[in-house]
Amino acid sequence: MQSEENKLSMEKNKKRRLKTPAQLTALENFYNDHKYLTEEMKSELAEELELTEKQISGWFCHRRLKDKKLMNDEVGANGRQDRSSGVIQDRGSGLVQDSCGSTKHGDYRYLDPKEVESHGLYNHEFSAADMTYAQRNNHHYAENDSATDNTSSESCSSLQDRLLPQGQDQYDMEPSSHLMPNGSLPPLNPKGANNMGYKPSGYLKVKGEIEHVAITAVKKQLGNHFQEDGPLLSVEFDTIPPGAFEGQIADLANEGYYAANPALPNSPEVSAAKKQSSGSRYDSYFTKLRSQDSHKEGSDFGSLHGPDLQDKKPHKHINQRASFHSFTNHLPHKNSSLDLYVDSTGEASAYNGAKNHRMGTKHGFEGMRSDSASNPSDHYEENAVAVKQIDSLLHLYNNINLKNVQKSEYVKSKPSNLVHKSQIYLNAEEKGLTKRMAKEEKFNGDRKLKKQYHDPDGIKVLSNEKMVAKRAKVDPFQQYDVKQTPVSDLEPRKVQRSAAEMPSSFSEDETAETSSSVD
DNA sequence: TTGTGTTTTATTGCCTCC
DNA sequence: GGAGGCAATAAAACACAA
């Protein structure tokens, strides 16, 4: 009833209406895992969010455009300086650079530009860093490649089991076989996806090929250090003296692709990977990260890498990765739906690292503050309700995921890039992040101070609670009356971008996932 | 307070695929 | 031809500096 009324009123009111924070959060999180909606998803989302399907479609459409636009911006801003590992770049991009520097579709003529673009490769954007991460998580990727766009490692495991023999990673099985005799990478050939008896069609086919090449490229660059049947990057290195790479780190702060740059064999990323590669260290690393968390932004990295950068680059790296897991977690011992709101900075945000950085600052805190000042109780109600709404949406989301897994037709027919694309975007935006850091610095400092003030013990609390805490600072005597309110009744966002764009910390999902892969 | 720039939302047209 | 997606555009909402 109310939903219908809302929709009617919305249609009557031609004036554009801003989505509520809860709606945006739900949309963002859903978008993180599903760039493209099925009819079912759309209708359910529309119902849950009390929006029209048209609005849902439109939002996702624009969201994709936004991603793409950000992508283009970051690529343009970073120029081609990060393309030192050209083979990877060009392979990944699907574009081949000829001797004159012009680009053309070479061996990738099989690729549908549209599909390539939707992978975030349209603008030559397939960084080594992306691929490094892809390689680290190729198990995860394989799931997506082989089964569904459902990013849940749990929900798609059955499909994966069916499609991949004994949980083997199709790309890890014979990585060297992907290399040409001269060590170069073979051209993309969709037909190559047949090796495992599983032949993804259309989108998934292309996707698999791209990742396939990407992963292979990284493995190639890792050379002998990569162990096919062992933990990722399972190489024992000599202990690196403290501060040995601080100089490099400083330089690399402005580079997003160094991870797989052969010119930097001792790059901090590699050393970090080394640490992460061995199970115990890796586990302890992220266990530490988890426990000390999410609130002490970057502080834990200080002991690992160096003072300032850890606060930014590595942490952002981690944060961004984690975000799209926030809605994909189906393991009971892992993140709850409420964890969706928890992030390392105290702001709620989604996948958009670079932009979120700004948004989280502006909207997440200051917007919140001003909002609180104006109407604190409303704000609390809004967020309290938002938590419930998100929780509710989580169920919706899980249901949809489950349905998707069960719907093999959907898997076959529906193109989806999902995590892969998210990953690409995340890393691309991450690169741009460094450019904005200076501008954001003062905000961050301010924010951190305030955070510490409100959360001195680093106790994991909902950002909503933090919102309350922040507001409480403004109005410490306010009593809150939490009432259940329909999403559509929520006050239009004042912190519209905050909840949807959390620079999250490493998700437990990923941690566990990686750990399990090590095991 | 106001002007300006940015972001978000809505609309429309075109294209591709089935 | 319909559905879905992308791109361009306009306009509202918002943020921010002067």
- Residue A34: pLDDT over 70: yes
Residue A514 belongs to a domain: no
Task: Report if CB A114 to strand C is under 7 Å.
Answer: yes
Q: What pLDDT, on a 0 to 100 scale, did the predictor assign at position A102?
A: 30
The type of residue at A141 is Y
CATH assignment of the domain containing A26: 1.10.10.60
Residue A35 belongs to a domain: yes
Across A322-326, average pLDDT:
36
- Residue A308: pLDDT over 80: no
- Residue A61: pLDDT over 70: yes
- Residue A390: pLDDT over 50: yes
Q: What pLDDT, on a 0 to 100 scale, did the predictor assign at position A13?
A: 52
**CA distance linking residue A517 with residue A136, whole number of Å:** 9
Residue A36 belongs to a domain: yes
Residue A255 belongs to a domain: no
Task: Report if CB A442 to strand C is under 7 Å.
Answer: no
Q: What pLDDT, on a 0 to 100 scale, did the predictor assign at position A397?
A: 54
Backbone angles phi, psi at A392, to 5 degrees: -60, -40
- Residue A405: pLDDT over 60: no
The protein footprint on chain C, as nucleotides within 7 A of a CB, is 4-8, 11-16
A443 CA, C18 C1': separation in Å?
A: 21
Nearest nt to the A492 alpha carbon by C1': C13
Q: What pLDDT, on a 0 to 100 scale, did the predictor assign at position A49?
A: 83
Task: Report if CB A321 to strand C is under 7 Å.
Answer: no
Task: Report if CB A375 to strand C is under 7 Å.
Answer: no
Contact A29, A350 (CB under 8 A): yes
- Residue A298: pLDDT over 50: no
Q: pLDDT confidence of A242, banded at 50, 70, 90?
A: low
Q: What is the pTM of this model?
A: 0.37
| Cα A256–Cα A435–Cα A130 angle in degrees, nearest 5 | 20
Q: pLDDT confidence of A385, banded at 50, 70, 90?
A: low
Nearest nt to the A68 alpha carbon by C1': C6
Across A398-425, average pLDDT:
39
- Structural domain count of chain A: 1
A16 CA, B11 C1': separation in Å?
A: 11
The type of residue at A23 is Q
C-alpha dihedral (A63, A69, A71, A75), degrees to nearest 10 = 180
Nearest nt to the A52 alpha carbon by C1': B10
Residue A349 belongs to a domain: no
Task: Report if CB A250 to strand C is under 7 Å.
Answer: no
Task: Report if CB A117 to strand C is under 7 Å.
Answer: yes
Task: Report if CB A430 to strand C is under 7 Å.
Answer: no
Q: Closest protein residue to B10 using CA and C1' atoms?
A: A16
The protein footprint on chain B, as nucleotides within 7 A of a CB, is 7-11, 17-18
Task: Report if CB A12 to strand C is under 7 Å.
Answer: no
Nearest nt to the A65 alpha carbon by C1': C6
Task: Report if CB A482 to strand C is under 7 Å.
Answer: no
Q: Closest protein residue to C7 using CA and C1' atoms?
A: A65
Residue A511 belongs to a domain: no
Q: What pLDDT, on a 0 to 100 scale, did the predictor assign at position A290?
A: 36
Nearest nt to the A362 alpha carbon by C1': C15
A59 CA, B10 C1': separation in Å?
A: 10
Structure tokens of A138?
């190729």
- Residue A81: pLDDT over 70: no
Across A323-345, average pLDDT:
35
Residue A52 belongs to a domain: yes
Q: What pLDDT, on a 0 to 100 scale, did the predictor assign at position A60?
A: 87
Of residues A469, A503, A489, A490, the one with CA closest to residue A368: A469
Q: What pLDDT, on a 0 to 100 scale, did the predictor assign at position A52?
A: 81
Residue A152 belongs to a domain: no
Of residues A118, A107, A112, A108, the one with CA closest to residue A60: A118
Tell me which residue range forms the domain holding A38.
19-73
A234 CA, B17 C1': separation in Å?
A: 46
